[in-house]
Amino acid sequence: MAKRFFLFLTLTVGLLLLVLAYAGPHRTVEANTKVPEPKIGLLDLDRIKKKAPHFIALEQRAKNNRRILEEFTAQVLAEHQQQIQTLSPDDFSRSRELALATQARLDQKRQELEESYRRQEEAVLEELKAVVAHVAKKEKYDCILLKGGFQVGGEDVTDQVLKTWDKWGLTFWQRVWIFLGGKDPRPDPLAEGSGDGQ
């Protein structure tokens, strides 16, 4: 009886091990289906800032704003110097008021130029985000990261973003017109950025 029990126990354990060996995770449906790797795109923002007409226009706008502020500062300081020269030497409080008024004018002009630039920069960045989202959806990227640092792998999507942004906002017929040699109907962003910004 003990031999039968020992034989039965050995066969049961052996059969159980055999069933578990063949029914492991490598035999399941989940193990046979491959999990797709995430598709990652890399965006070189520095290259976009150097090549995209919108960012070039934004840089020109910043240069123009600096030039306008320098000219305005020179003009206001010249006016202030003339006002100070007309004062008597005993009017220290009046000269202080004039200095505060001059500084207020300079600060106001600086804030106006900074606010104008900030609005334009925000619009350009929103348009860039929309273009990147469009490229990500079209090419089925799971994630688009900024190029730089120590990323390994991923596909560079900078050229696709620049190409898409170049045609951004055009209708089909406008694209056909440009293809056939017509002029782009959109205003030139470089021409907009070269104005005096006032």
Report the side by side order of strands in the sheet with 155-156.
Answer: 143-146, 40-43, 155-156
Structure-block tokens of residue 137: 């959806």
Termini Cα distance of the chain:
106
Distance CA 148, CA 152 (A): 10
Q: In sequence order, which residues have a C-beta less than 8 Å from that of residue 60 and are 6 or more positions away?
A: 190, 193, 194
Domain range summary for the chain, segments of one domain joined by + = 1-35, 40-193
Structure-block tokens of residue 139: 């090419």
Q: Is the distance from CB of 54 to CB of 165 less than 8 angstroms?
A: yes
DSSP 187: P
Written as one string, the DSSP assignment of 1-45 is -HHHHHHHHHHHHHHHHHHHHHTSGGGSHHHHSPPPPPPEEEE-H
Name residue 145's beta-bridge partners: 42
Q: In the prediction, which pLDDT does 32 show?
A: 63
Q: In sequence order, which residues have a C-beta less than 8 Å from that of residue 122 and are 6 or more positions away?
A: none
Q: What is the pLDDT along the chain (198 residues), one digit of tens a residue?
A: 778 888 888 889 888 777 777 766 665 566 567 777 788 888 888 899 999 889 999 999 999 999 999 999 999 999 988 888 887 777 777 888 888 899 999 999 999 999 999 999 999 999 999 999 999 999 888 888 888 765 666 777 888 888 887 777 777 777 777 777 777 766 666 565 444 444
Coil, strand, or helix at residue 156?
strand
Q: Is the distance from CB of 124 to CB of 117 less than 8 angstroms?
A: no
